[in-house]
Structure 1
Amino acid sequence: MNPEDIRPTTPTAASASDPLMLVVGVHLVLSEAGRVLLGRRSNTRYAAGMWHLPAGHMERGEPVTRSMTREAEEEIGITIAEDDLLLVHTLHHLDADDGRSRLQLFFRPTRYEGRLRNAEPHKCSELRWWPLNGLPDDTVPYTAHALAAITRGSALSTVGWAG
């Protein structure tokens, strides 16, 4: 082989056979007496002014259960042991805004410690309990979809995919 034949390689576009990189979201479903806790998002890039479950994203180096317990602490001031989380729904969501594939995991705690409070008032203007069968019209659409699926007992659903 001639040295002239060796050229640096350049990255190529991802092919259909490359492994998919997913964004993983975690959502806390706190429900009692047919009602669910939602927060009104504010000062956020995504869904500002809309109602959403306490939620966030998995960070590098942490398992999804720790992601969920961390978000619960950060957003609503409660402590949940990772072993006290039940996965109640998985949603594979194709985000129409950015075209990214997202795996949204919905957890219900079997118990928690602390007093519920709005621990991030700079990102959430209010917390409120809403009837599961009467969510506000301005609920994040995939959140409303997932809560309806959870109410039906469905463990898995998809949103945003053709067909």
Structure 2
Amino acid sequence: MTLLVAAVIVHDRAAHRVVLLQRGDNAKFARGMWDLPVGKSEPGEPITETAVRELHEEAGRTVKPESLKVAHIIHGAWGVEALNGFLTVVFAAHEWTGEPENREPRKHSRVSWVDADAIPQDFVDTTASALHHYLTSGAEVSLAGWPAGSAAP
């Protein structure tokens, strides 16, 4: 089965910044790398609820499911916990409550606002691509790990 995942780009348009987290030494993958708040969907959970839950659990931000906008879709051929592939729905949130805080210090070394023009280089490839496409109004679908010739436009 394909793993269903949600990620959230919390975008402060006025200050041109986004909330990012840096994975810690105990992360299951991408230790030390930057990422969006992201996580797996629970059985029977709508993907918007996954996004809301993961954002709150990881970064202390609260958003309403109806305020989320689909920003990007990532279809990966495989992942650390998804040998049969994964589908990540990346949402953008422009309305929230709370300030960024590291609510999972065992998994993440920090959570903070980052200037959208100064995104760290050491970023998880798939979500970095989604964030870049979102910020530059590029493609809305990314393919990762699939054979050449099946890339998204």
Offset of residue 157 of structure 1: 1.9
Offset of residue 36 of structure 1: 2.0
What is the total number of aligned residue pairs between the two structures? 143
1:88 paired to 2:68 = no
Match of 1:38 in 2: 20
Match of 2:151 in 1: none
Given candidates 127, 141, 148, the residue that maps to 1:156 is 141
Match of 1:17 in 2: none
Match of 2:108 in 1: 124
Offset of residue 160 of structure 1: 1.6
* Unpaired stretches in structure 2, ≥5 consecutive residues: 149-153
Task: Name the CA distance, whole Å, in 2 between partners of 1:149 and 1:115.
Answer: 25
**Matches of residues 57-136 of structure 1 in structure 2 within 5 Å?**
57-95=40-78, 99-136=83-120
Task: Name the CA distance, whole Å, in 2 between partners of 1:130 and 1:77.
Answer: 16
Task: Name the CA distance, whole Å, in 2 between partners of 1:118 and 1:141.
Answer: 22
Offset of residue 99 of structure 1: 4.3
Offset of residue 64 of structure 1: 0.3
Q: In 2, are the aligned partners of 1:91 and 1:104 still within 8 Å (CA)?
A: yes
Letter in 2 for 1:105: V
**Matches of residues 48-63 of structure 1 in structure 2 within 5 Å?**
48-63=31-46
Partner SS for 1:38 = strand
- Structure number with the bigger relative contact order (C-alpha 8 A, sep ≥ 6) is 2
Q: Which has the larger radius of gyration?
A: 1
Q: Percent identity?
A: 33
TM (norm. structure 1) is 0.79
Partner SS for 1:80 = coil
1:25 paired to 2:5 = yes
Q: In 2, are the aligned partners of 1:96 and 1:160 still within 8 Å (CA)?
A: no
Q: In 2, are the aligned partners of 1:77 and 1:114 still within 8 Å (CA)?
A: yes
Offset of residue 82 of structure 1: 1.0
Offset of residue 22 of structure 1: 1.2
